Structure 1
Amino acid sequence: MAPIKGVKKLPVSVKTEQAAEIFMKLATVSSEISRLDEKFKHTIVRSDLINTLALKESVQSTRIEGTQVTFTDMVNETHKSEQKQEHIEVLNYRKALYIGQERIRNGYPLTTRLILDLHKVLMEGARGANTDRGEFRKVPNWIGPTKRFEDAVYVPIDAGEIESYLMNWETYANKHPYGEKMDVSHLPVGDFVLDESIHPLLKVAILHAQFESIHPFLDGNGRLGRIIIALYMMQSEQLSSPIFFVSEELEKQRAKYYHLLNETRGNNPKWYNWLNFFLDASQRMAEKLSILLEQADQIAKAGIEKCEGSTEPLVYLMTFRHPNITAVQAAEHAKIAPTTARRTLNSLAEKELLFKDPSQKRNVEYFNYDVLDLFDK
């Protein structure tokens, strides 16, 4: 079977009857995400959970690419001086995610320049690092189950077209600076056009799929494309905090995820199936996060009731951000003396809010296993 070749530029379209179904589902999912946002605004562990959620997302996104590392692995290896190759990829993902979030928070939109910067961070010391970090591919590429062209299921656009396609992608993401509408002459007459003004949740699904299809780099496209999902949801202000992490739900149905992405390519793209799939994954993500927030809030409130003084609650809540913490780390983040941090952590361990390995004598690590259990399900 011949591979699909290339992808049409944005915007995209669906049949009118399909659009009606998509918008009905969109209303439900959008409401679920709004409820999640409200719940997140009122949880006492709000800022502390963002870091842990970002680590979970980093793990799940790299697992889609075939790594075997788990969330627990990453937490257990937190304070190791040397990291394994797979761990480096996860840490790079989280670093790129942080940098992107900071740029968006400071008012910078999603642009080609940002994408190049994040790719450079993502590929530092990782597999494929011998390829051009922060530079578009200059040679043909293909996607398939093996490295043989004969097994390719998709052949992306030529390297010489990448900048043109990304300029089109960037306009779709941010709209034309002078308000001009994008060209739709390539779309079937009578279809419902999903233009640059559609709801951000549909738009981010399209932006992600299109980025994967452009495939601008030799490696790292999938991971960077999933970072783009989180960043665009921040940029479009659908959530007040950077918690739109859908990779876990995509990873659960990896084969279907890749298949439906492939359907959006070529001369006869099928966007309806992909958009439905993405909305379903987003709803599951929102529902799961909502439950996680409730449980984290209950654990935190019960723990704080056992805390004494002013330092113990502060350090205890810090372990929702760093489920594996040391006295040095606690002292630095809480701005307290190392001896105070160690005494506080030992007290929390005595109250069984944290666990410390009694065999450790130096660089003692304290684990919040209540938090770890929440994230390692």
Structure 2
Amino acid sequence: MSARTCTRNPILYTCRACNVPAIPCRAGPGRQPGPCRAQGRGGHHSQPGILVSTLTLQEARDSSAIENIVTTQDDLYRDEDPADAVGTAVKEVLRYRQALRAGYSRVRETGLLTLNTILDVQQQLECNRAGLRRLPGTALRDAAGNLVYEPPQDANEVRRLMGDLERFIHDDPPFPADPLVKMALVHHQFESIHPFYDGNGRTGRIVNVLYLVKEGLLDIPVLYLSRHIVRTKPDYYRLLQAVREADAWEDWVLYMLDAVAAAASETVATVQAIRRLLQDTKQRIRANYRFYSQDLINNLFNHPYTRVEFAQRELGVSRITATRYLDALAADGVLEKIRVGRNNYYINRPLFALLSAGASPP
């Protein structure tokens, strides 16, 4: 496999032995991704905590589905308290959300997307401290067991390449490309280095979102990018490999720009619909119930499947009072009460429908 040297960025990935493709200097496809940037930021200033709580869980579910970690929407929201999660898949999705939130906090605090942050993200995803690969033998194979790609095998080479990638993320040396184009390059390089024993795909997709946060294109880590990828999964893997085999950078970058554009449009539409529903629900409860409070509204929208324990904790009321509030809302059709095992759940059906619309099937 040939490797091309980028004279503008000579430190980046010209390793013939390890097959990590060189980034071409003229990677931009000539497309103006400005509208994606505007859409990525739109509508996020209302109730950001609610959006982070609900929408990051959707991104976690879809990113995990790419790796065949499949959960239903109902299972996910019923078990969204990690202490109650039973299924392995649900636990993995919840860890993804936790890792995304932790990475987001680090990037917002420091303004940097460092190797240490990426290591922390992967550690939370996989619940281990294995760190970067140190042993040879990692290979990517198709369903028939045929070798598709062999990433760098030498531990020193993996660490060097990740150091190069960290510098590239922070424009050292400067790389004059639109941040969305650069995100596509960063993602491909990360997946080609394949730095971890496990969790590379999901870590790489979290890095996408964190990079957009670092660049100021997202105020909060809410973007349905993985939903588009899971819908076009064969193209995603085909184009990843086409860069390695044929330096097909333009097709890869165009694919990622299309993914961001589609994700931004869908995310904004969902955010706006949630905002309208929240206002309608707020007005309805305020007009009809003396126990209305903003804490109650937050509870109903932070937890599409809420429980008495959640309301008790978040409203600061007794269990009896929390039960009375939720039962009253269920009796009038604001919520739907169901019993699963020993637990009662109060479902915000309109919110659940919005979050489930367009979601990848289980």
Q: Give TM-score scaled by structure 2 length.
A: 0.85
Q: Are the counterparts in 2 of residues 14 and 272 from structure 1 also a CA contact under 8 Å?
A: no
Which of 150, 156, 159 is 2:154 aligned to? 159
How many Å apart are 1:39 and its aligned residue? 2.2
The letter for the 2-side match of 1:102 is: S
SS in 2 for 1:356: strand
Which of 39, 42, 54 is 2:43 aligned to? 39
**1:351 partnered with 2:332:** yes
Q: Which runs of 5+ in 1 are unaligned?
A: 183-194
SS in 1 for 2:25: strand
Q: Tell me the alpha carbon deviations over residues 54-111 of structure 1, each in whole angstroms, 9 at most, x when there is no partner.
A: 1101110110001221333211333573521211211111111111111112115211
Cα distance in 1 for partners of 2:354, 2:154 equals: 44
**1:291 partnered with 2:295:** no
- Name the structure 2 match of 1:269: 247
**1:370 partnered with 2:350:** yes
Cα 1:360–1:94 shift into 2, 3 Å? closer
Which of 304, 321, 341 is 2:322 aligned to? 341
Cα distance in 1 for partners of 2:335, 2:298 equals: 11
Cα 1:66–1:137 shift into 2, 3 Å? farther
The letter for the 1-side match of 2:161 is: Y
Q: Say which structure, 1 or 2, has more relative contact order (CA 8 Å, 6+ apart).
A: 1
**1:213 partnered with 2:192:** yes
**1:332 partnered with 2:313:** yes
Cα 1:31–1:118 shift into 2, 3 Å? closer
Q: Tell me the alpha carbon deviations over residues 220-246 of structure 1, each in whole angstroms, 9 at most, x when there is no partner.
A: 100100010111111111122221340
How many Å apart are 1:351 and its aligned residue? 2.7
- Name the structure 1 match of 2:133: 136
Cα distance in 1 for partners of 2:270, 2:114 equals: 33
Cα distance in 2 for partners of 1:310, 1:203 equals: 50
**1:8 partnered with 2:4:** no
- Name the structure 2 match of 1:86: 89
Q: Tell me the alpha carbon deviations over residues 204-228 of structure 1, each in whole angstroms, 9 at most, x when there is no partner.
A: 1111111000001121100100010
Q: Tell me the alpha carbon deviations over residues 134-155 of structure 1, each in whole angstroms, 9 at most, x when there is no partner.
A: 342421321121484xx11111
Which of 24, 41, 49 is 2:31 aligned to? 24
Cα 1:153–1:362 shift into 2, 3 Å? closer
The letter for the 2-side match of 1:93 is: Y
Q: Give TM-score scaled by structure 1 length.
A: 0.82
**1:223 partnered with 2:214:** no
Q: Which runs of 5+ in 2 are unaligned?
A: 1-16, 358-362
Cα 1:298–1:82 shift into 2, 3 Å? closer
Cα 1:60–1:373 shift into 2, 3 Å? same
User: Taking every aligned residue pair, what percent have the same amino acid on both sides?
Assistant: 26
5 Å matches for 1:225-240?
Answer: 225-240=204-219
Give the number of equivalent residue pairs.
Answer: 337
Q: Tell me the alpha carbon deviations over residues 156-207 of structure 1, each in whole angstroms, 9 at most, x when there is no partner.
A: 122331011011100011123xxxx36xxxxxxxxxxxx2x42221111111
Cα distance in 2 for partners of 1:361, 1:92 equals: 24
Which of 156, 166, 172 is 1:170 aligned to? 166
The letter for the 1-side match of 2:36 is: V
How many Å apart are 1:342 and its aligned residue? 2.2
Cα distance in 2 for partners of 1:113, 1:360 equals: 41
**1:318 partnered with 2:325:** no
RMSD: 2.5
